[in-house]
Each structure stands twice: as C-alpha cells, then as structure tokens.
C-alpha cells in the first residue's frame, strides 16, 4: 500500500512541472517575465511558504478533519472522500477573491490531490510540500 502511495506522490511531483512547461510553451512565457516575479522576495515568501502553510492547516488540518468526523469518513471510492470534495469546493471558493475565475476553479483539482495525500499519509506534511511545490510552478504559469 505504501509503495502505491509513494508512486502516486512521485507521479504528482513529476507531472506538475511537465504541465507547467507545456503551458509555458503554448503561451510563450518569456524569461523576463519569470525573472520579474521571482525578484519580489516578500510576495514569494507569502505565495510559496506562508499561504500554503496557512491554507493546509486550515483546510486539510481543520476543515477536512471536521467534515471527515461528521460524515463518518464517507468515501465515494478508494480515492475520494466526501470530506475531501467539500473541502476542495471551499478551497476553490476562497480563490475567487484574488484570482481570475478560471484559475480559481482550477484550484479544485490540485486541492483534491492535496486532500488525498493528507488522508492517505495521515499527516499534513505531504500536502504542505505539494502545495508549496504547486505554487512555485503556478507562478511560472500565471506570469
């Protein structure tokens, strides 16, 4: 079982930059745009470290846990729980405040992955790491 989870985690880590590279290639991002976003150290701290920590503790550590307890850990299949789906909907909803609606909606899918890894590892560390990792690559996509 642990081997399958590690494989899925590894695939997620490998797939993320490939998706970003594909997107950057299609929309022809320039090196100048990438340098500009990475020159603002304060924003980078918040986007890459602070927000992922805060959001993971709030959403996966608190909200998803509360919903899981109240729903008796109801699962749709071996990968998807009711708590994860509801938490991911809430997670995507808060991104409408500062993001274009398309990008806000797109946070739903990575959120499902974050919730999945939190549930299967039974620890926040994998989801925190992935959230930080996703944010680094998403910076390259949205500039």
Is a pLDDT exceeding 70 seen at residue 46? yes
Please check whether residue 30 is in contact with residue 54, taking contact to mean a CB–CB distance below 8 angstroms.
Answer: no
Instruction: Say what the pLDDT of residue 94 is.
Output: 94
What value does the mean pLDDT take over residues 52-73? 96
Based on the structure, what is the number of domains in the chain? 1
Instruction: Say what the pLDDT of residue 11 is.
Output: 86
Tokens of 104: 């806000």
> In terms of residue numbers, what domain contains 121?
2-142
Q: Strand, coil or helix: what is 81?
A: strand
DSSP for 84-118, please give it.
HHHHHHHHHHHTTTTS-HHHHHHTHHHHHHHHHHH
DSSP annotation of 14: H
The set of residues, in sequence order, having a beta carbon less than 8 Å from that of 85 and lying 6+ positions away, is: 76, 112
Is a pLDDT exceeding 90 seen at residue 89? yes
Instruction: Say what the pLDDT of residue 40 is.
Output: 78
The set of residues, in sequence order, having a beta carbon less than 8 Å from that of 80 and lying 6+ positions away, is: 112, 116
């Amino acid at each position: 079982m642990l081997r399958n989870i590690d494989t899925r985690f590894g695939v997620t880590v490998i797939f993320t930059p490939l998706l970003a590279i594909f997107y950057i290639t299609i929309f022809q991002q320039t090196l100048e745009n990438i340098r500009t976003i990475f020159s603002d150290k304060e924003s980078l701290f918040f986007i890459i470290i602070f927000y992922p920590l805060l959001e993971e503790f709030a959403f996966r550590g608190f909200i998803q846990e509360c919903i899981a307890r109240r729903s008796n850990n109801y699962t749709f299949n071996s990968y998807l729980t009711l708590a994860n789906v509801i938490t991911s909907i809430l997670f995507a909803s808060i991104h409408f405040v500062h993001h274009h609606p398309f990008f806000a909606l797109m946070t739903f899918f990575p959120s499902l992955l974050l919730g999945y890894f939190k549930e299967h590892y039974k620890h926040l560390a994998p989801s925190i790491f992935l959230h930080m990792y996703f944010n680094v690559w998403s910076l390259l996509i949205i500039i």
